[in-house]
Amino acid sequence: MSYKHNEKYEKSELYRIRHSAAHIMAQAVMEMFPEAKIAIGPPIENGFYYDFDLPRNLTPEDLKAIEKRMRQIIAGRHPFVRKVVSAEEAKKVFADQPYKLELIENLERGSTDEHGNPLDEKPEISFYTHDTFTDLCRGPHVEHTGQINPSAVKLLSVAGAYWRGDEHNPQLQRIYGTAWKTPQELKDHLHMLEEAKKRDHRKLGKELDIFTFDEEVGPGLPLWLPNGGIIIEELEKLAKEIELAHGYERVRTPHLTKEALFIRSGHLPYYAESMYPPMEMEGVRYYIKPMNCPMHHKIFAARPRSYRDLPLRLAEYGTCYRYEKSGELFGLMRVRSMQMNDAHIYCSEEDFEREFMDVIAMYMEYFEIFGIEKYIMRFSTHDKAGLGKKYVDNERLWLKTEDMVRQAMENGNVNYVEVPGEAAFYGPKIDVQVWSAIGKEFTLATNQVDFAVPPRFDLKFKNSRGEDETPLCIHRAPLSTHERMIGFLIEHYAGKFPVWLAPQQVSIIPITDDQNEYTVKLERQLKAEGVRAKADLGSDRMNAKIRAAQKRQVPYMLVVGQREVEAQTVSLRKRDGSRQNGMPVGEFIQMVKERIVTRSPEL
């Protein structure tokens, strides 16, 4: 979750501890490198960081030395003292700190705060000083360094980070750390981080042959291997089943379109930085699409519509392309090519609440299937200061539409948190944060309301009075994109997919070559029943074949020897280590098919 607008977190004791720890770390670094140039050091989810321009790259030994010095500073119980200063005074104090000078100039103009976040009003410029270190900072902090438990602070890593997130700016060294109230909380967090490393979708995706990237293809453009293709097909099958039950119709749209379409939709003025540059053919400029909605609007407008046609629910697993900055690409979570679980619902105001809440109900169906127990709905609203720049300039419709969403969520008894300033340019939205099995947070699904774009496309339907009326449009993607969803599921399941989603569901392993014929027969029998089974007829010994299947996280291993051939049975080994010898083939087929059909999480 982004904590930029999380007022509850900013007022918490942990926020003050982490913010103060960032300053203490900066002091230790400046003592080690007096010539260092300092940038920003905010608290973040579960920790803090600080960016430095240093004369050399940091080493693990440096982190240990910095951590040791931090403990000494903490022990000094130095008070954090705030002082309000003028821009001129601030510039004198940081005369040899170019990054701070840039921030002070931005503060002077009122454009951003000391962490680079946009501001609406010209802020007060303040310093915080503890011991020998002074920083440009609005706070808050603990009263003194002694209020931080030195045994609950740890530096974690160093990474490269472009100044202000712009790849054209200097690259700095970012030191990440974490801080908690107690040593036990730190221990629990470090355990979670270790578990997260084991579950990292980039690592497991490679080990399980799910996806790959290639420099000749391009960064952020994943290639799905056969195992990944199977998972995609299963997710699409699930989406199609659920969407059919909810009254959706499927459509398909091209990958590129004329520039005029995105000018009309408003995406070019608001979204141009995230779009690939245009190509020109026969004097016409074309863009590859970053989203499907303008084309779905055209499908709605393809023929006259009546209130009897509504709600119209158009769904598509369309491939979109967005230019994410190189430094922001991250495995499957931030990519440039994505297959989106997209749909657009066109409805009247009278039908809005029912349709909006039906999307929320769809989330719940998916959460139950995937075993997602912790989630939060983030209701993103507009910021009046951004009208005409970041948001469509219509305050009346913003307030009206936000009230409609708020009322729907409250009538449906859905818990949500309201987050100002993060709406889509065309309307308010619900973003869904989910937590994996080990408590790692992901932004997954979205449910957006569009009051602005349908009028741009002159979308109309005849209401029951025979009058023209403009529909509302709901943009929704409960399963996010294939890329983000599969990245989440890899980490959520630690690569141990439930049977229905596992690329290979059964490995059939003969004890000797004498059982090869029976093994092949079983493979054919299982495949005929719709089970993804594979006979392992390689030259390795049985135990090596079992280990190989376990490494691939195959849910079921069927070991067959001469006894099984004679009795027409199998010896079942499950991925969790449990066994069942002498199992009739028909009984196993019935069991595995039941797990697949019901999409059971159990083996």
Report the distance separating Cα 341 and Cα 360, nearest Å.
15
Say if residue 99 is in the same domain as residue 176: yes
Give the closest residue to 11 by CA, choosing from 19, 21, 2, 1.
19
Task: With H, G, I as helix, E, B as strand and everything else as coil, classify residue 216.
Answer: coil
Q: What CATH number does the domain containing 160 carry?
A: 3.30.980.10
Report the distance separating Cα 377 and Cα 429, nearest Å.
10
Say if residue 213 is in the same domain as residue 160: no
Establish if 192 belongs to a structural domain: no
Say if residue 56 is in the same domain as residue 113: yes
Say if residue 150 is in the same domain as residue 229: no
Report the distance separating Cα 261 and Cα 294, nearest Å.
7
> What is the bridge-based pairing of β-strands 506-510 and 556-560?
parallel
Establish if 525 belongs to a structural domain: yes
Establish if 13 belongs to a structural domain: yes
Say if residue 345 is in the same domain as residue 479: yes
Q: Among the three residues 438, 464, 493, which one is the final residue of a domain in this structure?
A: 493
Which residues, other chains included, contact 577 with Cβ-Cβ below 8 Å and sequence gap of 6+? none
Say if residue 486 is in the same domain as residue 395: yes
Establish if 243 belongs to a structural domain: yes
DSSP code at position 204: H
Report the distance separating Cα 197 and Cα 203, nearest Å.
8
Q: What CATH number does the domain containing 469 carry?
A: 3.30.930.10
pLDDT at 276: 92
Report the distance separating Cα 6 and Cα 440, nearest Å.
18
- Average pLDDT across each block of 10 residues of the chain; the chain has 603 residues. List them in order: 52 94 98 96 94 96 97 97 95 96 88 58 87 95 97 96 89 97 96 92 96 96 98 97 96 95 86 90 94 95 96 95 88 94 95 94 94 91 76 82 91 89 82 89 87 91 95 93 96 96 98 96 97 96 95 97 96 94 96 96 88
Packing angle between helix 349-370 and helix 226-245, nearest 10 degrees? 140
Say if residue 562 is in the same domain as residue 461: no
Establish if 265 belongs to a structural domain: no
Establish if 218 belongs to a structural domain: yes
Which domain, by its residues, includes 303?
Answer: 207-255+291-493
Report the distance separating Cα 32 and Cα 29, nearest Å.
5
Total domains in the fold of the chain? 3
pLDDT at 67: 97
Are 24 and 148 spatial neighbours (Cβ–Cβ below 8 Å)? yes
Q: Is 59 exposed, middle or buried (0-12, 13-18, 19+ CB in 10 A)?
A: exposed
Q: In angstroms, how far is CA 349 from the centroid of its own chain?
A: 31
Say if residue 312 is in the same domain as residue 402: yes
Say if residue 593 is in the same domain as residue 468: no
Say if residue 426 is in the same domain as residue 521: no
